Amino acid sequence: MPELPEVEVSRLGISPHIIGQTIDKVVVRQPKLRWMVPSEIQQAAKQVIVDVRRRAKYLILTTAKGDIILHLGMSGKLRVVPINSEVQKHDHVEIQLTNGQCLRMNDARRFGACLWRGEGEPEHTLLQNLGPEPLTEHFDGERLYTLSRGKSQAVKTFIMDNHVVVGVGNIYANESLFMAGIDPRRGAGKVSQQRYVQLAEHIKQVLAKAIEQGGTTLKDFVQVDGSPGYFAQQLLVYGRAGKACSHCGTTIKSVVIGQRNTFYCPSCQK
């Protein structure tokens, strides 16, 4: 599943090609995605895309009439291509621009979403009650420490809670906890304030590095058969069960926490 860095790279990839452009029409070939594509999305026709933002894993295309809200689900991808380009299988939604280009959303498993929030309407329910963005000043170790008091759940599950902070998916939770030397199984309420300060900094570092690595793939967004820039990453523990820890040589172990595969070094993480 695409995580925050992949979605941010998607935002960076499509933004230069669609911001300032006028939407001619929205073509919905398959309305049955994770949720039905609302008919109200046609209000975006003849509107200028004034901004492309990301909130958690949602991309928000802003116009004067309202916002198109996109989610890539588990297999979704976005491409900017000429309108007359051959339509590929699973190209379910197409935002056609008056300059002859279009933004196509391809989603083989149909777990993604294309939604609408009209101007003046309340924030979409999916975006309400979300925690802060991890790469902003609103997220820090103090927040983690305060919210974790009295919680017995595993610290890995805690930092993956979107009410605590958005966008710390499975890969980056594993990597950040390793870098901070914290056992992912440890109870969230038993992690000290100092260690949470370190953990928050590592979360910021690992996400920022992933976004930087993904930046090399931005050209893929304008290839007719391009992918959305999911990129190879240099991972320290994720997916490395049975291999030697790069820091101490101990064998990396894996365990299931919150129904997610979890990887850790039993020597480096306490």
On whether 109 is known to bind a ligand per the annotation, the reply is: yes
What is residue 56's three-state secondary structure? Answer: coil
Residue 3 a catalytic site member: yes
Residue 2 a catalytic site member: yes
What is residue 254's three-state secondary structure? Answer: strand
CA–CA gap between residue 79 and residue 76 (Å, rounded): 10
What is residue 37's three-state secondary structure? Answer: coil
**Quick count: other Cβ atoms within 10 Å of Cβ 192?**
11
On whether 151 is known to bind a ligand per the annotation, the reply is: yes
The residues that bridge with 27 in the sheet, in sequence order, are: 94
Looking at 6, 8, 11, 57, which residue is catalytic?
57
Tokens 């933002």 appear where?
53
Sign of the Cα torsion 32, 35, 38, 41 reads: negative
Catalytic sites, residue numbers: 2-3, 57, 260
Tell me the binding residues. Answer: 90, 109, 151
Tell me the binding residues for DNA. Answer: 90, 109, 151
